[in-house]
Every structure is written in structure tokens, then in C-alpha cells.
Amino acid sequence: MNSREKILKKIKSFPIEKTPMPKFDVKAIASEDRIEAFKQSVKVVGGQAVMLKDYGTIDNLVTVLFPDVKRIATNLEGINCATENPDNFSMASMLNGVDVGIVEGHFGVVENGAVWVTQAMKHKALYFISEALIVILDADQLVETMHEAYKREEVYGDYEYGCFISGPSKTADIEQALVIGAHGAKAVTIVLT
């Protein structure tokens, strides 16, 4: 018997008592104004959160915030400014060059400005290949913390893909040079309805 086998045998000989998981009730954060706190968190991570009522419609918002764009992709109903539906493309690479992608979020997290999105389209690439991403979110669907977020049923839904998006893509090297948009959208706008 070699040293490895002796060590493993010794480890296996010790009785292991099972300990139940403790119950956590985390209520660390309680914003006085969830919407304003969320908007501030989105700003801190490099994005912007706006109220739809300030623009009237998504079409008006796109015209005001992104006046010179040519390719606007969404599969959401009622958005007339869209120039293409991402579900009509056979390959995700055909979305390369999309100026603005418009998607829907399930809920937002106040503490970090993240929004939970799922693959509600043929190609999830739209979330990351668009130069700018607009996420439409119901303002009543804000939770305070990631602890609360992971208690939401939507996180464990039956779909192919889901992730949290928090502001534009960011990366930094060891010299602390921050690059925005290196691996995803250069701008993220959360539209609260």
C-alpha cells in the first residue's frame, strides 16, 4: 500500500456526521426608494436606467438615445423602430453589426444593478453582440439583494439560457486599464416600465 492509499484509507475510517444546512434570512439592505437605488447602482456599473414614462414609447426612447443607429434588433411585439427580428437569422454571427438590441428582463437587483434575462429568442448572441443593449424591465420586479434574486423561481426556470447582466461589458488588465465593451455591449440601458 502506497502513501496515497494509506492516507485515503485513514480519511475513510473517520466517521462523518451530517450537519443540516442553517437557515439564512438575509435582510441586509432595505432601500427607501428601490427604483432610485437601482438607477444609481446601474449608473455605478456604467449603464443607465431610465423611466419609460419620460419617453412615452420604446420607439421614442431609441430615437432620442440612439439617433444615428441603423440596425435595431428585437423579437418583442410592438416595437416599430426595429429593423430586424433576430429570430429570422439562421446563424448567430449574422447579428454581428447590430447597433441596438432590445430584450426583456425578468427582474432587477438593486444592490448591483443586475437584470436577470433568459433566452427568449433563437440566438442569445443578441445580448452580447449588440453595440448597445436596451433591457425592458417592470419597475415592480426589483429585489434588494442577490440573496433575494436566487430565491426567485425565474432563476431556475425551464429554458436553455439565463444570466444576470449588470451594465456594459467591462474588463481590466493588471495595470488597471478599464476597457468598456470588450466582450459585449458598450452601452446598457435599463428601461423601467
What structural domains and CATH numbers belong to the chain?
A: 32-192 (3.40.50.10420)
pLDDT of residue 82: 95
Q: Which segments of 54-96 are extended strands (E)?
A: 72-73
Question: What pLDDT does residue 120 have?
Answer: 87
Q: In the predicted model, what is the mean pLDDT of the chain? A: 90
pLDDT tens digit sequence for 178-190:
777 777 889 999 9
CA 60 remoteness from chain centre:
23
pLDDT given for residue 74 in this prediction: 96
> Which of 2-11, 45-54, 166-175 has the largest mean confidence?
45-54
Helix (H, G, I), strand (E, B) or coil at 52: helix
pLDDT surpassing 90 at residue 12: no
pLDDT of residue 26: 64
- The per-residue pLDDT for range 24-60, each reduced to its tens digit, is 776 667 889 999 999 999 999 999 999 999 999 999 9
For 129-163, the pLDDT digits (tens) are: 999 999 999 999 999 999 899 988 888 888 888 99
Compute the residue count for the chain: 193
Minimal CA–CA distance to 42: which of 135, 141, 120, 126? 135
Give dist(CA 103, CA 110) in Å, integer.
19
